[in-house]
Chain A
Amino acid sequence: MNNQFFVFLKALLGSCKDLLPIIVVISFFQFAVLQQPMPNIGDILVGLALVVLGLTFFIYGLEMGLFPIGESMAQAFAKKGSISWLLTFAFCLGFGTTVAEPALIAVAKEAAIVAASGGIITDTIESQLSYANGLRFTVAFAVGFAIVVGVLRILRGWPIQYLILGGYVVVVLMTMIAPSWIIGIAYDSGGVTTSTITVPLVTALGVGLASAIKGRNPMIDGFGLIAFASLTPMIFVMIYGMVIS
């Protein structure tokens, strides 16, 4: 018990260290550049304490729960040997975690307002809603597709650079033909898809698969799933923009 407490204390200290740069940056700009006193200091201290505590719990739970479940499922699928079930799982994981992602919902809503004010879609609530939902499902489908391709790559041992660089070429080509109002949103949609819980799960899945399959190196083949998940939404959202206009 005493030992466990010590481990927790050490983790708490680690989280403080992770947060230190933010505290330094904020105080420097507040006092030295903007030259203003810190507003409601009590709230800020309570908030910082919560952040430190939260980060500590998160990392603790990560190694206890998220990593092991991702890896044990990867190993179970590898043992079962059914590729179609594995790919179905991969698609569901990608689609399911993205379609409900709050950051994506917020971005889609904002993009709908932009599109309505730009005259791309009619300025009614229904058409805005259908546009936002269309965007959301496009991105979620893209992420599901990405995880499927990424898992296939691990199974087959394809080198990642050709797939990703090929994807970049497609993005560049699409940028030239896609309508200009969709480009900024498309580029950003690649970044918002990967949430704090999806990332550890997907990483553990990839590493678990690569270590369960003979001849795969977990370092070379295990990583890279997230890279696919940030690339395909850009392509799919630009296609969506072209279809709509």
Chain B
Amino acid sequence: MELLFEFLTTLKNTVVDVLPILSIILGFQLLVIRKPIPHIKQVGFGFIYVLIGLALFLLGLEKALFPLGKMMAEQLTAPEFIHAGQEVLTAIHWSDYTWVYIFAAAIGFSTTIAEPSLIAVAIKAEEVSGGAINANSLRISVAIGVAVGIALGSYRIVVGHPIHYYIIAGYVVVVIQTFFCPKLIVPLAYDSGGVTTSTVTVPLVAALGLGLASTIPGRSPLIDGFGLIAFASLFPIIAVMAYAQLTEAKARRAEKKSEKRIQDKENKRNSK
């Protein structure tokens, strides 16, 4: 009963969030395009499904994942866990936080796999590319990018380097890759940076960043707590382009091999 009430509240909030989008779509459809929406019944039901789905999803996250994930981020960054067994705390060393980096990477990877907007883009990309881009491979590459990004971002908070060196270095890598990777993937790769950080990833990652910045001496949560999201949106771009480069290289090698095989056969036939 209580669950139902909570669900209705979440549903109401979701509907309120969607209202601006809905009114823009309806306004333009009725006043500018002035044609009935094709398959209106199906589209309407689709919208209702999306709203119900999103409300259930958010409620479930709020109930199960967020409290647990946030608690874990706090416990893993707490001094009692990091410096367990150390009698006198002399200085912090970046390697004391190994579990934090592993947690950051693991939670970044797994939340990205469950990110609904990434699923949407991956479905569309597979459809548009006629199957040349596999939705699951795309999602896994993006997730690897987020994992590396958040782990590196946590390392940055621990050692206290300024954020823009990392971001600018990342941009340089993106620029270089753009010139060498297959042209078809470039826009999709750029998109994947913005897509990764939404409903599931942001709250958990923010908790990790704040936990780290508030427990490490000399870091301020106000300055160092921000910025993990920037890491999580930069590295997927690199990862997706790398995935395309790898697939292309593999295809080229396979092509060469089969060409060679055909040539060998022909040579044999000729020598006979």
**Chain A residues proximal to chain B, CB less than 8 Å:** 18-19, 21-22, 24-26, 28-30, 33-34, 39, 43-69, 72-73, 76-77, 80, 85, 89, 92-93, 96-97, 99-103, 114, 117-118, 160-161, 164-165, 168, 171-172, 175, 181, 183-185, 187-188, 190-201, 203-204, 207, 218-227, 229-230
Contact = CB atoms under 8 A, between A and B. Distances in A.
A187 B163 CA distance: 10
A46 B56 CA distance: 11
Given A80-B32, A160-B190, 9 more contacts: A29-B103, A48-B60, A52-B60, A164-B190, A181-B223, A191-B230, A194-B194, A200-B117, A224-B187
A192 B60 contact: no
Given A26-B72, A57-B52, A168 B174 contact: yes
A161 B232 CA distance: 20
Contacts, number: 322
B43 A68 contact: yes
Nearest to B191: A226
A207 B128 contact: yes
A114 B202 CA distance: 19
A54 B59 contact: yes
B43 A65 contact: yes
Interface stretch (B18-26, B245-253, B256-264): B18-26
| Interface of chain A, main secondary structure | helix
Contact of A69 (B37, B72, B230): B37
Given A196-B198, A226-B191, A34 B72 contact: yes
B154 interface: no
B142 to A, nearest CB: 13
B194 A226 contact: yes
B222 interface: yes
Nearest to B38: A72
Contacts of B111: 22
Contacts of B63: 43-44, 46-47, 50
Given A76-B35, A196-B116, A191 B54 contact: no
Interface string B108-149: 011101101101110111001100000000000000000000
Interface in B169-202: 171, 174-175, 178, 183-184, 186-188, 190-191, 193-195, 197-199, 202
Given A34-B72, A69-B43, A219-B128, A51 B65 contact: yes
A176 B76 CA distance: 35
B21 A96 contact: yes
Contacts of B124: 67, 200, 203-204, 207
A11 B213 CA distance: 40
A185 to B, nearest CB: 6
B230 A201 contact: no
Interface of B: 3, 13, 17-21, 23-25, 28-29, 32-33, 35, 37-39, 42-65, 68-69, 71-72, 75-76, 81, 99, 103, 106-107, 109-111, 113-114, 116-117, 119-121, 123-125, 128-129, 163-164, 167-168, 171, 174-175, 178, 183-184, 186-188, 190-191, 193-195, 197-199, 202, 222-224, 226-227, 229-230, 232-233
Given A43-B64, A188-B227, A68 B54 contact: no
Contacts of B57: 50-51, 54-55, 58
B48 A61 contact: yes
Nearest to B7: A50
26 contacts: A22-B113, A26-B68, A28-B106, A29-B72, A48-B64, A51-B64, A54-B57, A58-B50, A60-B53, A65-B44, A65-B47, A68-B46, A76-B35, A96-B20, A160-B187, A164-B190, A187-B167, A194-B198, A196-B54, A196-B199, A199-B195, A219-B125, A221-B187, A222-B187, A223-B187, A224-B191
A163 B75 CA distance: 43
A117 B222 contact: yes
B195 to A, nearest CB: 6
Q: What 5 A-B pairs have minimum CB-CB distances, sorted nearest first? A: A65-B46, A47-B64, A61-B49, A57-B53, A54-B57
